[in-house]
Amino acid sequence: MKEYLIKNNIYIVLITLLILFFLMIYTIVVHKKYTQLFFEHNDQINTIIALNNKLNSYILGNSAVNNFDVLNKDIDRSLESIEKLKNDAILTKFQNSYIKALDDLYTKFNKKIIWLERFKARRATNKQTISIILDRSHNELLNFDIQTKNKLNNIRIDILEKIEQNSFYNIDVVKHYDLELDNSFLINFLNKVKALQKSINFQLKYQDIAINHSIDKLLKETKNLLFQQREKAQHSVYISLNILYVLVTIFLILFTLFYRKLQLSQKQLQNLTYQSKLASMGEMIGNIAHQWRQPLTHISYILMNIKTAYEKDKLTPEYFEKKSKLANSQIKYLSDTIDDFRDFFKNTNQKEFFNLSVSIKEVTNLLKDSFKSHNINIEYNLDDAISIKAYRGEFLQVLFNILNNAKDEFIKKELINAKLIIKTYTKKDTIKIEISDNAGGIKNELLEKIFEPYFTTKDKGLGIGLYMSKIIVEKSDARLEVQNIKAGASFIIIFKK
């Protein structure tokens, strides 16, 4: 039982170690997946930052890309990336602050695109307007002197530069260029220029709204939150792996302790088995010596008869043949006893099928002379058709221990009508062997201790016979039980069919 519990503890520790090992692998795999996801998010945010800078350069007129349509594909991809990052963050349970930052970024980026479209449209309109103003006034300019023409042309160039440079155009054109408003064309031209100045200033307001420096700040904040998330995840993984490492170390120590305990228990069991076999062997040799006494005496008488006949010259061939047969029968009995003894202590590492009745008779034959000398009767109620699968040699030892204990109890109590009843039968899905005696039973306080090692009620007993018997029976997936009955005690061995 102790060995069984130790083995159970070892199995529990091993299963726990396997679970911890798989948890460590799972943690590492998840961490690797998270790390890869962090890198992907970081790359995507860097791409969005680069696109935002490119759009701002385009708005400010510092970009090498003059065609806005070239940027449209990058804008669409970036918006899709932000949406994907947000969905990934929700699925992988990132911090809410990071998810909210991505949500705000998506909203602000959409607004940036809307205002960028408005800025682009306003700038294109302003360029077209100044061209129309001057192109349509070409004929009227022919009537002005060269100086006035140059001034008007400089106003056009100045306006175009302001548009290209995205800078406010707030100068007083009349004073700056020293114009004289002496005809209706100039008055009309300057009114259109003033209207254009307002349009340019609106363009610049659209520019500031489109650039939206809060997006730059939000992108930095998003990236910082991502790094915080990564650091938190790494810290969590570091703590988890350290905890798992400590647990693995503890359970490895427990496994080592239990394994050593199991080895010690097995060694103790081997010692008990050896002691039990030696004790049984001693008892058995005593029984064999008792059984051999009568045949040896008989053989001695036969030899004396032959000698006497020879001395009186009465040794005929017929007489010699008769006495030889008698002697051979006694020698065969001695040989059979030795075979039974050898079978009894033969080690078998494999279970085998054997007839139950034959095995019981084999044990009782070894004990019959000893039983007979103490007036112990054996009553058989055996089912000869029953066979079991077990370790035969060890099973015979169990029967011998039980029967020999009963004999010792009879001798101790000096019973006159001592009787043993051996019964085999099947019940439902079990095979039962009952060995009952009429020795008065076992004290109730001793029943629970009877299968414990080194427990004995004998003066010179070792207290290992019944303990080893129980272990041997359980080794064959069976049970050994004891109970008091009306006349005495009953030992029951129960096998599954």
CB 454 within 8 A of CB 411: no
Instruction: Please name which of 395, 405, 390, 378 lies closest in space to residue 464, comparing C-alpha atoms.
Output: 405
**Phi, psi of 438, deg, nearest 5:** -120, 40
Instruction: Please name which of 418, 415, 421 lies closest in space to residue 436, comparing C-alpha atoms.
Output: 421
Instruction: Please name which of 49, 57, 72 lies closest in space to residue 207, comparing C-alpha atoms.
Output: 57
Q: For residue range 135-175, what is the model confidence (pLDDT) as tens digits?
A: 555 555 556 667 777 777 777 777 767 666 666 666 666 67
How does residue 230 score in pLDDT terms, banded at 50, 70 and 90? Answer: confident
- pLDDT (average), residues 106-123: 80
Q: For position 62, what pLDDT does the model report? A: 65
Residues 251, 397: Cα–Cα separation, whole Å: 40
How does residue 210 score in pLDDT terms, banded at 50, 70 and 90? Answer: confident
Q: For position 425, what pLDDT does the model report? A: 92
The rounded percent of the chain whose pLDDT value lies above 70 is 74
Highest mean pLDDT among 73-82, 87-96, 100-109, 202-211: 100-109
Q: Give the three-class secondary structure for 435.
A: strand
Residues 351, 342: Cα–Cα separation, whole Å: 18
- Measured at the CA of 217, the angle between CA 211 and CA 223, to 5 degrees, comes to 125
Q: For position 493, what pLDDT does the model report? A: 93
Highest mean pLDDT among 19-23, 137-141, 237-241, 388-392: 388-392
Q: For residue range 167-204, what is the model confidence (pLDDT) as tens digits?
A: 666 666 667 666 666 666 667 777 777 777 777 777 77
- Residue-averaged pLDDT of the chain: 76
Q: For position 288, what pLDDT does the model report? A: 63
Strand partners, 436: 421, 490
CB 407 within 8 A of CB 370: yes
Beta-strand relationship, 387-390 and 489-496: unpaired
Residues 314, 308: Cα–Cα separation, whole Å: 8
- pLDDT (average), residues 353-357: 91
Higher-confidence residue of 191 and 412: namely: 412
Residues 269, 249: Cα–Cα separation, whole Å: 30
Mind listing the domains of the chain with CATH numbers?
2-232 (no CATH), 274-496 (3.30.565.10)
CB 75 within 8 A of CB 127: no
Quick one: tokens of 88? Answer: 């990934």
Beta-strand relationship, 377-381 and 419-427: parallel
CB-count burial class (<10 Å; 0-12, 13-18, 19+) for 351: middle
Residues 384, 366: Cα–Cα separation, whole Å: 20
User: Which amino acid belongs to residue 373?
Assistant: S
